[in-house]
Amino acid sequence: MLSLKFKCVNVYAHDSIFTIVLVLFHCILDKCCQDRRAFIDAWGNEIRVVLDPFHALQRVVRAVKKHDVLAKEDQGFQDMFYRKLRCLIRRKDDRGEVRQEPTAPAQEIRANIKAFLKEYDSVLK
Protein backbone atom coordinates (compact mmCIF):
# COMPACT_ATOMS: atom_id res chain seq x y z
CA MET A 1 0.00 0.00 0.00
CA LEU A 2 1.21 3.47 -0.79
CA SER A 3 -0.66 6.66 -0.04
CA LEU A 4 0.85 10.04 -0.81
CA LYS A 5 -0.37 13.52 0.09
CA PHE A 6 0.92 16.59 -1.70
CA LYS A 7 0.42 20.26 -1.10
CA CYS A 8 0.62 22.87 -3.79
CA VAL A 9 3.31 25.42 -2.95
CA ASN A 10 3.25 27.53 -6.07
CA VAL A 11 1.74 27.90 -9.53
CA TYR A 12 3.65 29.63 -12.29
CA ALA A 13 2.10 30.85 -15.53
CA HIS A 14 4.21 31.54 -18.61
CA ASP A 15 2.86 31.77 -22.16
CA SER A 16 -0.35 29.91 -21.26
CA ILE A 17 1.65 27.07 -19.71
CA PHE A 18 1.08 26.45 -16.06
CA THR A 19 3.69 24.85 -13.85
CA ILE A 20 2.43 23.54 -10.56
CA VAL A 21 4.96 22.93 -7.82
CA LEU A 22 3.90 20.16 -5.49
CA VAL A 23 5.61 19.09 -2.30
CA LEU A 24 5.17 15.61 -0.91
CA PHE A 25 4.48 15.97 2.81
CA HIS A 26 2.83 12.73 3.95
CA CYS A 27 3.44 9.14 2.92
CA ILE A 28 1.69 6.02 4.27
CA LEU A 29 3.54 2.76 3.60
CA ASP A 30 3.05 -0.88 4.52
CA LYS A 31 6.81 -1.24 5.17
CA CYS A 32 7.61 2.23 6.46
CA CYS A 33 10.61 1.13 8.53
CA GLN A 34 12.26 -0.40 5.46
CA ASP A 35 11.30 2.32 2.98
CA ARG A 36 11.53 5.46 5.14
CA ARG A 37 15.15 6.27 4.25
CA ALA A 38 14.46 6.08 0.49
CA PHE A 39 11.53 8.50 0.76
CA ILE A 40 13.44 10.93 2.97
CA ASP A 41 16.44 10.81 0.60
CA ALA A 42 14.17 11.52 -2.37
CA TRP A 43 11.82 14.09 -0.80
CA GLY A 44 13.73 15.60 2.14
CA ASN A 45 13.45 15.54 5.91
CA GLU A 46 10.09 17.33 5.95
CA ILE A 47 8.20 14.29 4.68
CA ARG A 48 6.14 12.36 7.23
CA VAL A 49 6.46 8.60 6.62
CA VAL A 50 4.08 6.42 8.63
CA LEU A 51 2.88 2.82 8.75
CA ASP A 52 -0.53 2.10 7.25
CA PRO A 53 -3.34 1.23 9.72
CA PHE A 54 -3.68 -2.43 8.70
CA HIS A 55 -0.02 -3.26 9.26
CA ALA A 56 0.10 -1.18 12.44
CA LEU A 57 -2.79 -3.24 13.82
CA GLN A 58 -1.02 -6.48 12.87
CA ARG A 59 1.96 -5.35 14.94
CA VAL A 60 -0.28 -4.65 17.93
CA VAL A 61 -1.87 -8.12 17.67
CA ARG A 62 1.59 -9.77 17.50
CA ALA A 63 2.79 -7.75 20.52
CA VAL A 64 -0.26 -8.70 22.61
CA LYS A 65 0.25 -12.37 21.74
CA LYS A 66 4.01 -12.24 22.32
CA HIS A 67 3.67 -10.72 25.78
CA ASP A 68 0.86 -13.12 26.68
CA VAL A 69 -1.33 -10.28 27.93
CA LEU A 70 -4.42 -12.50 27.87
CA ALA A 71 -2.88 -15.64 29.41
CA LYS A 72 -5.26 -15.66 32.40
CA GLU A 73 -8.37 -15.21 30.23
CA ASP A 74 -10.38 -18.11 28.77
CA GLN A 75 -10.24 -18.93 25.05
CA GLY A 76 -13.64 -17.42 24.27
CA PHE A 77 -12.59 -14.11 25.81
CA GLN A 78 -9.29 -14.17 23.88
CA ASP A 79 -11.06 -14.89 20.58
CA MET A 80 -13.49 -11.99 21.12
CA PHE A 81 -10.65 -9.66 22.15
CA TYR A 82 -8.66 -10.36 18.98
CA ARG A 83 -11.75 -10.15 16.78
CA LYS A 84 -12.62 -6.71 18.19
CA LEU A 85 -9.00 -5.62 18.01
CA ARG A 86 -8.82 -6.52 14.32
CA CYS A 87 -12.02 -4.55 13.66
CA LEU A 88 -10.64 -1.26 15.01
CA ILE A 89 -9.86 0.02 11.51
CA ARG A 90 -13.13 -1.16 9.99
CA ARG A 91 -16.30 0.81 9.49
CA LYS A 92 -19.04 0.07 12.03
CA ASP A 93 -21.19 -1.70 9.39
CA ASP A 94 -18.28 -3.93 8.27
CA ARG A 95 -17.51 -6.20 11.22
CA GLY A 96 -18.05 -9.64 9.63
CA GLU A 97 -15.42 -12.33 9.12
CA VAL A 98 -14.62 -11.06 5.62
CA ARG A 99 -13.85 -7.39 5.15
CA GLN A 100 -16.24 -5.72 2.70
CA GLU A 101 -15.47 -2.00 2.93
CA PRO A 102 -12.37 0.20 2.71
CA THR A 103 -10.63 1.29 5.90
CA ALA A 104 -12.72 3.54 8.12
CA PRO A 105 -11.94 7.27 8.19
CA ALA A 106 -9.56 8.50 10.91
CA GLN A 107 -12.34 9.90 13.11
CA GLU A 108 -14.16 6.56 13.15
CA ILE A 109 -10.92 4.67 13.89
CA ARG A 110 -10.25 6.99 16.84
CA ALA A 111 -13.78 6.35 18.16
CA ASN A 112 -13.30 2.60 17.72
CA ILE A 113 -10.01 2.70 19.64
CA LYS A 114 -11.54 4.77 22.44
CA ALA A 115 -14.45 2.31 22.84
CA PHE A 116 -12.10 -0.69 22.70
CA LEU A 117 -9.79 0.75 25.36
CA LYS A 118 -12.75 1.57 27.59
CA GLU A 119 -14.08 -1.98 27.27
CA TYR A 120 -10.72 -3.70 27.83
CA ASP A 121 -9.02 -1.21 30.14
CA SER A 122 -8.76 -3.64 33.06
CA VAL A 123 -7.22 -6.36 30.87
CA LEU A 124 -4.60 -4.10 29.26
CA LYS A 125 -3.23 -2.66 32.52
Residue ranges per structural domain of the chain: 2-51, 53-124
One-character DSSP codes across the chain: -EEEEEEEEEEEEETTEEEEEEEEEEEEETTHHHHHHHHHHHH-TT-EEEE-HHHHHHHHHHHHHHTTTTTTS-HHHHHHHHHHHHTTTS-TT--SSS--SPPPPHHHHHHHHHHHHHHHHHHH-
Q: What is the pLDDT of residues 62-108, one digit of tens each?
A: 888 877 778 788 888 888 888 888 888 899 899 888 889 988 888 99
Cα radius of gyration rounded to whole Å, the chain: 20
User: 21 or 43: which carries more pLDDT confidence?
Assistant: 43
Residue 48: pLDDT over 70: yes
What phi, psi does 36 have (nearest 5°)? -55, -50
